[in-house]
Amino acid sequence: MNFEYPPHGELFSLFRQLKTPPDIQLYLDSLPYIGEELNRSPLRVMRDRQCHCLDGALLAALALEQLGFAARIIDLVPEPGTDDDHVLAIFQINGCYGAIAKSNFVGLRYREPIYRSLRELAMSYFEVFFNIKGQKTLRAYTRPLNLARYDRFDWQATETGVEKVTHALYSLKPVALVDAAQADGLSLVDKRSYEAGMLGTNLDGLYKPAQR
C-alpha cells in the first residue's frame, strides 16, 4: 500500500516517525482512550487523536506493515456479557509472536516478541484481563485476520472499509483458552493487581457487566 499521496499521505508522514514496534506502542499510548461504538479508520484515528482497542489495533497493524510485517490482528474473546473484546495487532520476529494494543487497562497493551505460539501470546493476557468486578474474563482468542485481504475496501482511510474488517474479525471462530470447569473455579483479581491494572483508566470507557 502506497501512502505517498492524499489522503494516505498523512499516514505516510506519521509512519516515517515510527521505526520499531515499541515506537508504534508509544504512539498509541499518547492517544486518549475513548469508549464509544464508532470504529475509526487509521487515518481518522490520526486526525482525531483518540481511539479504542479496535481502531488502535488497525492503526498499529498498518504501521507494522510499513516496517515490513504482515498487517494482522487477532481478537481476545471474553465470557459473553462480562467484558469487551480486546483486539491486538500481532507481529513475528525470529518466529516468535509479539503484540501492540490500545487499552484502557495497563496490562493489556504491548507484548515483546517472545511467544512461540498464538496461544502463548493470548495466555499472557489472561491474569490481567479482568472487568470492573475483578472477574478474570478472558476465555478464547481467534486466528489472525490478514488485513491485506481487505485493502480493496480502503480500511486504512474509510469507516466503510473498517466495517468490512470488523465483520470478518467477529465472524472468526474462537479458540478456547480455558474450559467451563476451569472458568467456574477462577479467583477474583487481588486488590493490588486490580488497582495497578486500573491506573490511568478512563472510567467512562469501562464495560459495565450485567448484574447477576
Q: Is residue 205 part of a domain?
A: no
What's the pLDDT tens digit per position in 130-182? 999 999 999 999 999 999 999 999 999 999 999 999 999 999 999 999 999 99
- Mean pLDDT computed over 49-66: 96
3-state SS, residue 36: coil
Q: Is residue 3 part of a domain?
A: no
Strand partners, 115: 97
Q: How far apart are CA 38 and CA 12, in angstroms?
A: 23
| CA–CA–CA angle 75, 52, 64 (5° rounding) | 65
Q: Is residue 65 part of a domain?
A: yes
pLDDT band with cut points at 50, 70 and 90 for residue 211: low
Q: Is residue 207 part of a domain?
A: no
Q: Is residue 19 part of a domain?
A: yes
Q: Is residue 208 part of a domain?
A: no
pLDDT at residue 98 greater than cutoff 60? yes
Q: Report the CATH number that the domain containing residue 188 is assigned in CATH.
A: 3.10.620
What's the pLDDT tens digit per position in 179-197? 999 999 999 999 999 999 9
Q: How far apart are CA 26 and CA 100, in angstroms?
A: 10
- Identify the DSSP state of 153: G
Q: Are 62 and 44 in contact (CB under 8 A)?
A: no
pTM passes above 0.85: yes
pLDDT band with cut points at 50, 70 and 90 for residue 204: confident
Of 40-49, 162-171, 198-207, the range with the lowest mean pLDDT is 198-207
What's the pLDDT tens digit per position in 11-25? 778 888 999 999 999
Domain range for residue 99? 9-198
3-state SS, residue 185: coil
Q: How far apart are CA 43 and CA 7, in angstroms?
A: 8
Q: Residue 34 burial (CB < 10 Å; 0-12/13-18/19+)?
A: middle
Distance, CA of 161 to chain centre: 18
Q: Is residue 4 part of a domain?
A: no
Q: Based on C-alpha coordinates, what's the Rg of the chain?
A: 17
pLDDT at residue 4 greater than cutoff 90? no
| CA–CA–CA angle 105, 204, 104 (5° rounding) | 15
What is the number of domains present in the chain?
Answer: 1
Q: Is residue 95 part of a domain?
A: yes
